[in-house]
Amino acid sequence: MIRFILNGADVTYTGNPEKKLLDFLRNEKHITSVKDGCSDQGACGACMVEINGEARLSCLTPMKKVDKTVVNTLEGIPAGIRDVLARAFVEKGAVQCGFCSPGFLMRTRILLQKNPEPTREEIRHALNQNLCRCTGYVKIVDAIAEAALKLRLEEK
Ligand code: FES
C-alpha cells in the first residue's frame, strides 16, 4: 500500500507500484496540468511536479517512489501565488501555445520557494529540465524575475 499527500489531501494507492505518477495523476486523479510532452522520455519537463519540495519529472517517477511523500501539482499551489506566477508569464509574453507552461510554473514555484531572489543565471540554471518550442527562453526568464519581484513586494 502506498500512501502520500497530494495537493493537501491524503491518498492511498494499492495498484501497480511501477505505474508512472504522471499516468496516475492524469488518468486516476484527472489532474490535467501535468502533461506528457515527450512520451515519457524525461526530456521536456511538461510533467513536472513537486515532491518533498524538489522538482521531479512525474513521467520518470513510479508510484512506489511517492510513498510517504508530499506531492504538489500546479493545482496545489495557493491560488494567490499561482495567479502572480501566471500573470507574470502572460504579461511578459512567456506563453504561446501553453503546453509547457504548467511545467514552467511548477519549476518557478519550487525555485522561488528556495530562492526568492534568484539571479537570471540561477533562473536559467533552474530551467534546465524544461523545454519550450515557442517563446525562446528570454521571456520566460523575464517572467520568472518579474514573478519573484512581485511575490517579494507582496510580502512587504
Ligand atoms: Fe516527463 Fe517529458 S513528459 S519530461
The domains located in the chain, with CATH, are: 2-75 (3.10.20.30), 77-155 (1.10.150.120)
Could you tell me the distance, in angstroms and rounded to a whole number, from the CA of residue 147 to the centre of ligand 1?
24
d(Cα 102, Cα 107) in Å, to the nearest integer?
Answer: 9
Q: Is 46 in the pocket of ligand 1 (CB under 6 A)?
A: yes
d(Cα 52, Cα 129) in Å, to the nearest integer?
Answer: 18
List the pLDDT tens digit at each of the 156 positions of the chain. 999 999 999 999 999 999 999 999 999 999 999 999 999 899 999 999 999 999 999 999 999 999 999 999 999 999 999 999 999 999 999 999 999 999 999 999 999 999 999 999 999 999 999 999 998 899 999 999 999 999 999 887
Amino acid at 41: Q
Q: Give the CA angle between residues 55, 81, 30 to the nearest 5°.
A: 60
Amino acid at 89: F
Name 5's bridge partners.
10, 70
**What is the predicted pLDDT for the residue at 151?**
96
Name 48's bridge partners.
57
> What is this structure's pTM?
0.95
Nearest to 13 by CA among 24, 34, 61: 24
**What is the predicted pLDDT for the residue at 149?**
97
Nearest to 124 by CA among 144, 110, 105: 144
Ligand 1 atom 3 nearest Cα:
36
**What is the predicted pLDDT for the residue at 135?**
83
Ligand 1 atom 4 nearest Cα:
42
Residue 101 CB contacts under 8 Å (≥ 6 apart), including other chains: 86, 89, 94, 95
Nearest to 114 by CA among 27, 66, 52, 57: 52
**What is the predicted pLDDT for the residue at 50?**
98
Q: Which residue has the cell 534546465?
A: 128
**What is the predicted pLDDT for the residue at 24?**
98
Q: Is 38 in the pocket of ligand 1 (CB under 6 A)?
A: yes
Enumerate the H helices of 20-77 as residue ranges. 21-23
* ipTM, two decimals: 0.94
Q: Is 37 in the pocket of ligand 1 (CB under 6 A)?
A: yes
Indicate which atom in ligand 1 lies nearest the CA of residue 40. Answer: 3
Q: Is 57 in the pocket of ligand 1 (CB under 6 A)?
A: yes
